[in-house]
Amino acid sequence: MTVPRLTLPSPAKLNLMLHILGRREDGYHELQTLFQFLDYGDEITFAVRDDGVIRLHTEFDGVPHDSNLIVRAAKKLQEQSACPLGIDIWIDKVLPMGGGIGGGSSNAATTLLGLNHLWQLDWDEDRLAALGLTLGADVPVFVRGHAAFAEGVGEKLTPVEPAEPWYVVLVPQVSVSTAEIFSDPLLTRNTPPIKVRPVPEGNSRNDCLPVVSRRYPEVRNALNLLGNFTEAKLTGTGSCVFGGFPSKAEADKVSALLTETLTGFVAKGSNVSMLHRKLQSLL
């Protein structure tokens, strides 16, 4: 018998802006942010098992098997759907951990959508996104697969259509702790909410940037270097830094200059996730 297998992309995201409005009683922060996907990411391969076992075959330094978001996503979906099937999983990992480009959240969402397809659960997007939110605030946007203006802790999503430039993304060799940044006493927590829809141009600030660049000289250096060519921004709490260019040729040119000393890549911005384009092609 042929084992059903499926390989799916797990794309990166950028936060085109990130405003922190205040801290909630539960310790989380009220945010407004603009998510856009990149046509760049990890690849995850799934193979169905009939014995109910969930096994991630790729090892991650410092992350125990059962703590990995991929495994946690698979187990939660298996439990809540009462599915008797299991899964073997392999990942080709290119997205950095602690980079602010959504690696773990994206992997969890790709797992939920991939297993929904392979296990033939027929769950709708709302149900998968609600499950995804229990794994992390950024998981729902990856489940839904469309560029979005996000509010709340990042879970209230309004689809948007920002421009889709080519980006140079620099990857400083540090892993930034989101919890550490959000607990910093100097973090701005009182930005007035944006009430105009769609989000007006010029709201591209990231409230985390001053704290991150103060704590991490590697990030500050990347911002300064990329800032010589375009407006350099921080995505999420970092560490990745990005800037937009009108063409691939221009992005490639700048990337070639900067990646002599820094790690980085060039990728196209995309308002529809490459994961969703792949899933559509399977229907």
Residues 6+ apart with CB under 8 A from 190: 21, 22
Binding residues: 96-106
26 catalytic per annotation: no
Establish whether 138 is a catalytic residue.
yes
Strands 86-92 and 54-56: what pairing?
Answer: parallel
Q: Please state, in angstroms and rounded to a whole number, the distance separating the CA atoms of residues 205 and 194.
A: 12
Q: What stretches of 18-171 show up as alpha helix (H) in DSSP? A: 69-81, 103-118, 125-133, 139-144
Identified catalytic residue from 42, 138, 207, 233: 138
CB count in 10 Å sphere of residue 150: 22
Report the DSSP beta bridge partners of residue 269. Answer: 38
Residues 170 and 268: their CA atoms lie apart, in Å, by 14
Residues tagged in the binding site annotation for ATP = 96-106
Which of these is catalytic: 13, 39, 42, 233? 13
d(CA 12, CA 106): 7
- DSSP annotation of 194 reads P
Indicate which residues carry an active-site annotation: 13, 138
